[in-house]
Amino acid sequence: MTDTFDKGNAAFIAKRYASERRFKAYGAVALAVSVLFLVYLIVDIGIKAWPSFFEHRVVLEVNLDASKIPADEVLKGDFEGLVRGSLRSLFPRVTTRGDVRSLTSLLSAGAADDLRQDTAANPASIGTTVRAGALLGDDSDLYLKGMLTTTLRMPGTTNLQLAQSGEEFILTGDLSQLAVGQIVRANGGALRITGVEAGLAKAEAILPPATLNSLTPGTWDILSFSRAEADRRIDDRQVVLLEALRDKGVIEKHFAWRFFTSGDSREPELAGLRGAIFGSLLTLIMTLSLSVPLGIAAAVYLEEFAAKNKWTEIIEVNINNLAAVPSIIFGLLGLAVFINFFGLPRSAPLVGGLVLALLVLPTIIIASRAALKAVPPSIKEAALGVGASHQQAVFHHVLPLAVPGILTGTILGVARALGETAPLLMIGMVAFIVDVPKGFTEAATVLPVQIFLWSDLPEIAFQSRTAAAIIVLLVILFGLNAAAIYMRKRFERRW
Amino acid sequence: MTSWTLLIIAALTATGFFVGQAKAQGLRNAGTASLHSLPAYHGLLMASMALAAAGITTLAVAAIAGPNSLVMPAAAALLGTGAIAASYRIITRDFRARNRFEFFVMLVLIACSAVAVLTTVGIVFSVLFESLAFFSEVSPIEFLFGTHWAPTSTPPSFGLIPLLAGTLLITFIAIVVAGPLGLLSAIYMAEYSSRKMRGVLKPMLEILAGVPTVVLGFFAALTVAPLVRNAGESLGLNVASESALAAGLVMGMMIVPLISSLSDDIINAVPQALRDGSYAMGATKSETIKRVVLPAALPGIVSAFMLAISRAIGETMIVVMAAGLAANLTFNPLAAVTTITVQIATLLVGDQEFDSAKTLSAFALGFVLFCFTLVLNYIALRIVQRYREQYD
């Protein structure tokens, strides 16, 4: 050794201490990176998810025309037509076919669903005029959330003269505020500036103005966008209509309960998690009812009764290996054995539960064994001493004391099963399921698979829905983990 | 019919318990000498006889006549009742019901622990049989050494090498990220942090370990991949939008908690006497860690890394969502590569025909994956086991 301690060599000691501090800092940085990654992950997904928990509705006065609603089958009434008609009545000047289509395209395909349900629940309202919230479509919704473009409104502060030549409109006067691509809203219409030349600006009508009156300051305004029309999913005409609705004050923002109470849908604004949550629930019931009894029984046998021989050693090595087998392999097992060989139904919670039960079995066995091992032998010995049989000692005295530990392990197993996706893809739980599964053999999907399916869809709105579904899943998982930690703290017993 | 049969079995089991218990209780009340077993054990034994008889009958009938036949509940009811009647006669004062029942319980316990073995057997056989079917169509040499993977083109080609290269590339990136991070985190937590800090940090890492991989996949595809791409482009590099680097980075973060918690356990298992000896020689803490603790813990740390590699190789969702589909034989981390698990998932999602080489190739890939991870796990677990014995 050359680096022996030398009393006089202060520089050497300083170097060693610097190295010590450096090493400690590396460790702190490594931990910080992991923690920051976790925080960044959750914040990033949270920010993406936040808009999805809200939805926009346009509040309409709808006359529930009795001739459009059959009295005996209220649900079959033409509520779409009523809602659309009511929306059109807000814009008496929107008459051309294209404009009307733009207007109705603002609404969701399920815009009338709420009204339909309300009316069915309260048939007495037929024939009267009710206020109804009509859900807006995903693009309108995203626009109102500011996710498609940032819209700037500037009040018009100059005097302009308006003239029409054929299809084209000409603006003259003080053009200092105008630029190409902007929309001038005046005289009950909206004009898009197509060119600004010396002394005059050309514009085309998005909504034709009612008159050609001159524009004075305060009577007109300008909309300008951070993203050009070609680069966004909503066109200028829809924007003008939406802004008009916003000006009328009929657009309301609500918490999107729909996200939890409706099933999957091809329309992002209608898609919800209900089916997936129930699918997860059924699958978990199946998983738990199999893996918990099996796991505890196996743990009790291996920990308390098994003789140390070749057979138990094989079982032990097996369990440890199974715990590290990739989950997708369990999916292959499920596909080849449960579906192909036994002919169980595809996509069903039954098969999903079976596969996940085998997947979490090692986790539960290992946790249960640790819990059983933690019970001091004196408990068992005392029971044996007063004449209990071996099984009585274990089942009446050791096992009850190990229950908190077993429960903690089980909760962690459940958390793992709840987040597992890959094996369920293999057994076909990727079907498009709108409805809540009615039984263990019906086709179903589960939360993580729903997340996977939505993440594959091209619509931007689904991106946010995916993030929101992830937040729901994470909240459930954190809840489970917190429960496990609480149980560990609450029932932990030092002998 | 299934629910009816289950109901009948449950009813018979309950009946068995009460009948057995009542008879034993009657004997106890009538006589002066005591029973060998408590009445409850007579009841439990009779219940388990009924359950076994009815249950086995049901399974047998279901296997022969299908689960919808009317015979199933009838046969279950008949044999269950028969079992109760038969065992009713053997309940006497001296009947060793508890021992018989405990024997029955032991059988059940052994059967339960055999499920783990059955699962492994099931995995091996299901993967092996389909792989053999695959190898009867495609030669194993072509599969193992082929450098072109295109299962859907005509004619299809099944060369494993590009998939293996992609898997190893992503795994390598993951380990390069997770190895130092995980190990240094473990060292910091085991040697430097206070008890209180440990109480905060450990649950944080556990939370990270508990984040489902589908979530990490979403994050990799939507946040990390664009970040990597933009960073690469600002350096003038051409980065694929599904680069191996993005998937590898996120996968690395996924296995950090695995490495750190395993290493943490192992570092804690190093006897304090070794550290004290080093301190007594005047070594600083970091010198002790680097020259005493880590060498002593090395086998365990190696096995932690092997388990991490096995986890990374078998990880599916992150790569399905963030890595590519095209099999490129490249070691460029900025290019898109595909992995074994991605191919298994894409080949088997949707409708499969079990006689096409395309579907069967997924099982052959599964077989390769299983063997790979099995060997890694087995060696790692053996190392840990031997190492534990050394210091215990």
User: Mind listing the pLDDT tens digit for each residue in A103-148?
Assistant: 888 888 888 888 888 888 888 888 888 888 888 888 888 888 888 8
Choose among A26, A341, A448: nearest Cβ to B214.
Answer: A448
DSSP, residue by residue, B286-306: HHHIIIIIHHHHHHHHHHHHH
Mean pLDDT in residue range A350-354:
91
Measure B93 CA to nearest chain A CA, in Å. Answer: 19
Q: What is the pLDDT of residue A355?
A: 93
Burial tier of A167 (Cβ tally within 10 Å: 0-12, 13-18, 19+): exposed
Q: What's residue A2's pLDDT?
A: 52
Burial A198-228 (b: 16+ CB within 10 A, else e): eeebbbeebbbbeeeeebeeeebbbbbbeee
Asked whether the beta carbons of residue A37 and residue B253 sit closer than 8 angstroms, the reply is: yes
- Of A223, A257, A254, A228, the closest CA to residue A240 belongs to A223
The band of A1, judged by pLDDT with boundaries at 50, 70 and 90, is very low
CA atoms in the 13 A half-sphere facing the CB of A70: 5
Mutate to test the interface with B, among A13, A333, A369 (most CBs of B within 10 A): A333
- Per the prediction, chain A carries an average pLDDT of 86
Q: Do B377 and A324 touch (CB under 8 A)?
A: yes
Q: In angstroms, rounded to a whole number, what is the distance separating the alpha carbons of residues A422 and A324?
A: 15
Contact residues on chain B for A487, CB-CB shorter than 8 A: none
Cβ separation of A44 and B223 shorter than 8 Å? yes
Helix A97-105 × helix A236-248 angle, to 10°: 60
Average pLDDT over residues A72-89: 84
B320 at interface of A, judged by CB pairs closer than 8 A: yes
Among B112, B216, B284, the residue with its CB nearest the CB of A16 is B284
State the first-to-last Cα distance of chain B, in angstroms, to the nearest integer: 56
The CATH code of the domain at A156-225 is 2.40.30.20
Complex prediction ipTM: 0.88
Q: What is the 3-state secondary structure (H, E, C) of B22-47?
A: HHHHHHHHHCCCCCCCCHHHHHHHHH
Tokens of A434: 């709108």
Residues of chain B with Cβ-Cβ distance to A426 below 8 Å are 344-345, 348-349
Verify that B279 and B160 share a domain, yes or no. yes
Buried b (16+ CB within 10 A) or exposed e, A379-396: bbeebbeeebeebbbbbe
Backbone angles phi, psi at B180, to 5 degrees: -60, -45
Any domain includes B131: no
Position B357 in a domain: yes
- B166 and B80 inside one domain: no
Considering the domain architecture, whether residues B97 and B163 belong to the same structural domain is answered as no
Q: Is position B143 within any domain?
A: no
The domain segmentation of chain A, as residue ranges, is: 10-51, 156-225, 274-491
Q: Does one domain contain both B192 and B65?
A: no
Domain shared by B304 and B245, yes or no: yes
Partners of A317 on chain B (C-beta within 8 Å) are 378, 381
Note down the domain range covering B359: 149-391
Q: Are residues B73 and B154 in the same domain?
A: no
Nearest CA in chain A to B119: A358
Q: Which two tokens stand for residue A260?
A: 């939890």
Comparing CB atoms, the residue among A19, A37, A470 nearest residue B215 is A470
Give me the percent of chain A exceeding a pLDDT of 70: 98
Would you say residue B140 lies in a domain? no
Query: Which chain A residues touch B356 with a CB distance below 8 Å?
Result: none
pTM: 0.88
CA A108 to CA A130: how far, in whole Å?
A: 19
For residue B392, the model assigns a pLDDT of 54
Is B142 a member of any domain?
no
**Residues B245, B159 within the same domain:** yes
The C-alpha atoms of residue B98 and residue A396 are separated, in whole angstroms, by: 14
Which residue in the set B113, B126, B182 is minimally distant from A298, CB to CB?
Answer: B113
Shared domain check, B308 and B200: yes
CATH code of the domain in which B186 resides:
1.10.3720.10
B133 domain-assigned: no
- Average pLDDT rounded to a whole number, residues A334-350: 85
Per run of 10 residues, the mean pLDDT along chain B (length 392 residues) is 82 87 83 78 86 85 74 82 84 82 89 88 88 87 85 81 91 94 92 87 86 93 90 86 89 93 87 92 91 89 90 91 82 86 85 74 90 88 72 58
Instruction: Evaluate whether residue B235 is within a structural domain.
Output: yes
DSSP label at residue A124: G
Residue B113's nearest CA partner among A326, A364, A370, A356 is A364
Whether B124 is in a domain gets the answer no
B157 and B53 co-located in one domain? no
CB pairs under 8 A between A and B: 257
Residue A123: is the preceding peptide bond cis (ω within 30°)?
no
Contact: A298, B285; criterion CB under 8 Å: no
**Rounded Cα gap, residues A104 and B189, in angstroms:** 60
CATH 1.10.3720.10 fits A274-491, yes or no: yes
Torsion sign, CA atoms A191, A196, A201, A203: negative
Instruction: State how many domains chain B has.
Output: 2
